[in-house]
Amino acid sequence: MKITLHATPPRPCSYLPGRQSSSLFVDPVSLDNRLYSHLIQKGFRRSGEHIYRPSCQACDDCIPLRVSVKEFTPNRIQRRVRRRNRDVTVITHPPRYDETHFSLYRRYLHSRHRGGEMDNPTPDDYLCFLTSHWSDTRFHEFRADDQLFAIAVADRVDTGLSAVYTFFDPAQGGRSPGVYAILWLIEETRRLGLPWLYLGYWIPGCRKMAYKNQYRPFELYRNGDWQRE
């Protein structure tokens, strides 16, 4: 499969201070879910309409990670999170603009990324980041007592689900909604009869990304191949 890649110029890394980052983007003319299904197995990821992969000259710390859903067994903390969320109902929606979803997204960003690049988004910013016209994307609503408290955005590809982004009500942090969303996506992937939940890039030196290696067993994409850790 022949594709054209475009490299971005180096810029300060968002995850590792003092580092420079650069990415390779697939030419947008050729994008569809079939191509994405192929490239996600090669360490690529979707952001909005784009398929990309980090390509930094002096660093290879962004490591693609995928969870084996058939073999996954929750640890003690994860089992506790499941019990804490036994009252949750999940409703799945197509990727369209919803004012309630957007309001939750804004509250989450203002709490977690205040003053950052993502803070104070517009509706177009929101849709451009989470959706695309070619991907098989779904918004999964998490509700308790019929009150929306979290949304997990995920793409379906040939070999699994890819977790795009999760946002939640900051006041519901006691539920560990980020953890519960991944646990639910693991079960949903298993229900669909697919083998992998793709969690994007694990960055060992970044505290914000440290959680991704807590879902075992998992594989890392290194040197052109997926390797069991």
Instruction: Summarize pLDDT for 138-179 with one digit per residue, the tens.
Output: 999 999 999 999 999 999 999 999 999 999 999 999 999 999
Instruction: Summarize pLDDT for 35-73 with one digit per residue, the tens.
Output: 999 999 999 999 999 999 999 988 999 999 999 999 999
Residue 30 binned pLDDT confidence (cut-offs 50, 70, 90): confident
Q: Looking at domain 66-228, which CATH architecture does it have?
A: 3-Layer(aba) Sandwich (3.40)
Residue-wise DSSP of 15-84: SSTT-EE-EEEE-GGG--HHHHHHHGGGT-EEETTEEEEE-BTTB---EEEEEETTT----HHHHHHHHH
Answering whether pTM is above 0.85, one says: yes
Task: Report the alpha-carbon distance of residue 198 to residue 155 in Å, rounded.
Answer: 9
Residue 115 binned pLDDT confidence (cut-offs 50, 70, 90): low
Residue 112 binned pLDDT confidence (cut-offs 50, 70, 90): confident
Sort strands 147-157 and 137-144 into parallel, antiparallel or unpaired.
Answer: antiparallel
Sort strands 137-144 and 89-93 into parallel, antiparallel or unpaired.
Answer: antiparallel
Q: Domain locations in the chain?
A: 5-60, 66-228
Predicted local confidence at residue 229, as pLDDT:
84
Instruction: Summarize pLDDT for 170-206 with one digit per residue, the tens.
Output: 999 999 999 999 999 999 999 999 999 999 999 998 9
Indicate the average pLDDT of the chain: 95
